[in-house]
Structure 1
Amino acid sequence: MNNYSSRLKTHSRNLRKKSTPQEIKLWSRIKNRNFHNLKFRRQHIIDKYIVDFICLEKKIIIELDGSQHKREKDRKYDHERNNYLKNLGFIVLRFWNNEIDKNLNGVTLKIEEKI
């Protein structure tokens, strides 16, 4: 294993330990095959990126965005990252944290539309 992937694994593990309240909310809804009997993983590594949630079976990635994603440099990074993941055949769904807080049912309906 190279140093790069070792750092990503450590970072991924740390992200799982320090989940945001919104990540915990969504995870409680989709974990353990509770959501359409699909297996989701969280803070999963794909090449040089770590995605918030992924269903490999359906090739769906779910990203939760906080206020830092409103900054220009972060929006540009997200755009490049989304394009990279889409080129690998993934569907990338992005939701703001406040959507999880205010309308978790609506978020899960949007996810259902893509499966």
Structure 2
Amino acid sequence: MNQSTERARALRRHQTAAEATLWRVLRGRGLNGYKFRRQWPIDGFVADLACVEAGLVVEVDGATHGRPAEQRRDAERSAALARCGFEVLRVTNADVLRNLDGVRETILAAIERRVTL
């Protein structure tokens, strides 16, 4: 088993409240029939949520992602995932916990834009 798979399994066991909340909405094809994978390894990274069919990764970010070092790391990660054919959509923990319907609609709009291209 590779390191990314082990890390993904650990992250599934220790998800944040926002990740768990969003996963309850997306799991079991809960978003208009689109299948999402949780904590899924892609090219050495572990995506919080991924819809392979649409080539969309949803990252649920906490407050630390506003720091310059984290923003640089996130940009590098997004570029690497883009080279693998994935668009990265970032949502905040606060948005998931306070505006779940809005986050759901944002994800759906991103998927529909990608699958109709």
TM-score using structure 1 length: 0.92
Match of 1:66 in 2: 62
Match of 1:98 in 2: 94
Superposed structure 1 runs of 4+ greater than 6 Å apart: none
CA offsets per residue over residues 30-79 of structure 1, 9 Å max, x none? 00111111110011000110000001011110000001212211110000
Higher relative contact order (CA 8 A, sep 6+): 2
- The aligned amino acid for 2:77 is R
Gaps of 5+ in 1: none
68-77 vs 47-56, which moves further: 68-77
* Whole-angstrom CA distance in 2 between matches of 1:7 and 1:89: 22
Please state if 1:51 is matched with 2:47: yes
1:7 positional shift = 1.9
| Identity fraction in percent | 36
Match for 1:109 among 82, 105, 110? 105
Q: How many equivalent residue pairs?
A: 111
1:88 positional shift = 2.1
Please state if 1:16 is matched with 2:12: yes
